[in-house]
Amino acid sequence: MHSYPAPALARVEEMTKAAAADPARAVSFQGAPGCNGHRAALEWDPGCLPLPCFSFEDALDAVKDGRADRAIIPIENSQHGRVADIHFLLPESGLHIVGEHFMPIHHALMALGTGPFTGAYSHPQALGQSRFYLRERGIVPMAYSDTAGAAAHVAALGDPQLCAIAPRIAAELYGLKVIDDNVEDAADNMTRFVVLARNPLDPASLAGRTTMTTFVFEVKNIPAALYKALGGFATNGVNMTKLESYQKGASFAATMFYADIIGAPGDPRVDRALEELAFHCKELRVLGTYPQELARG
């Protein structure tokens, strides 16, 4: 908690106290009050008690420790790709994906002064989503752990030549002026969040709804293993909407894959596809089956 800038601490303490009084309603998120994770928690569950956590690991640990019932974590952005480290953290957490939420992202430039500005603090994702805006104005991007925390940090520094890129609400929370709205480079900027809990949803409870299933796997180290492993999804008519690779460990000898499919275990087509995948894998772990919020394709 004490890694937050001073202007954010009082709000963090207040929200943490409320969540501790009713952890069954608590939804943990990474960042300071006013960040996009905070917004996403309230959009996904308007009756929840948002619990701010300094890092993604802290947000996941809050669920594992029982301080929150769920966590909401950004996993990918339409403009800037996947959120760093999330593909490692989700499997290691032992938690299960129980939902997804898509949220349009709009950034504001905020500061104590009116400019010109020498540097802008924000989360690396937000800086990447606003890189052309910053480059055109000669503003140096400076990474911070989250967007709203960056706003609180600028307020604490008191330097009128520094600014932050954050949701507009952060300016109201931390006493900054909104200099410019919608500084993101693309109007259709969208972030996908996943919701995690200690226990998975039973796929049978989702009958009649369009579902997503997310899993990670490592294929055997033989020629054409990935081609053969994925063949079962094609032959069984299962739509794979996402496939990404990432390195496991530092040896660069083992590649893990993260995948989303439309469907759920219990569907014979999905069961056959996963069975064929498992045959060609050294490791296969289903991270969750959950309702689809946004149609693919």
State the amino acid at position 3 in one-letter form: S
pLDDT cut 70: percent of the chain above it: 97
Q: What is the pTM of this model?
A: 0.91
Q: Which fold, 203-288?
A: Alpha-Beta Plaits (3.30.70)
Q: For domain 6-104+190-197, is the CATH number 3.40.50.261?
A: no
User: Is 2's pLDDT higher than 60?
Assistant: no
Catalytic residue among 147, 191, 211, 289: 191
The pLDDT score that the predictor gives to residue 121 is: 98
> What digits encode the pLDDT tens for the residues 19-35?
999 999 999 999 999 99
108: pLDDT strictly greater than 50: yes
118 is catalytic: no
CB count within 10 Å of CB 89 equals 19
Average pLDDT, the chain: 93
Query: Of 193, 215, 217, 233, which one is the catalytic site residue?
Result: 193
The residues with which 262 forms a beta bridge, in sequence order, are 212
pLDDT on residue 253: 64
Please give the Cα distance from 111 to 163 (Å, whole number): 4
* Radius of gyration, CA atoms only, the chain: 21
Task: Please compute the mean of the pLDDT values over residues 258-273 and round it to a whole number.
Answer: 97
What is the phi-psi region of residue 40: left when phi exceeds 0, alpha when psi lies from -120 to 50, beta otherwise? alpha
Which has more confidence, 250 or 266? 266
pLDDT of residue 186 exceeding 90, the answer is no
132 is catalytic: no
Average pLDDT over residues 65-69: 97
What pLDDT is recorded for position 1? 47
Q: Which CATH fold would you assign to the domain 108-181?
A: D-Maltodextrin-Binding Protein; domain 2 (3.40.190)
H or E stretch including 129? helix 124-129
The larger pLDDT score, comparing residue 248 to residue 114, is at 114
Structure tokens at 274: 């996963």
Instruction: Retrieve residue 49's tokens.
Output: 């008690």
Task: List the chain domain ranges.
Answer: 6-104+190-197, 108-181, 203-288
Residue range 89-104: mean pLDDT, rounded: 95
Topology agreement, domain 6-104+190-197 and domain 108-181: yes
Tell me how long the chain is. Answer: 297
Q: In terms of pLDDT, which residue wins out, 297 or 144?
A: 144
> Which of 51, 70, 74 is closest to 1 using CA atoms?
51
Give tens-digit pLDDT for 25-63: 999 999 999 999 999 999 999 999 999 999 999 999 999
**32: closest CA among 198, 149, 134?**
149
Cβ neighbours of 17 (radius 10 Å)? 10
At residue 106, does pLDDT exceed 60?
Answer: yes
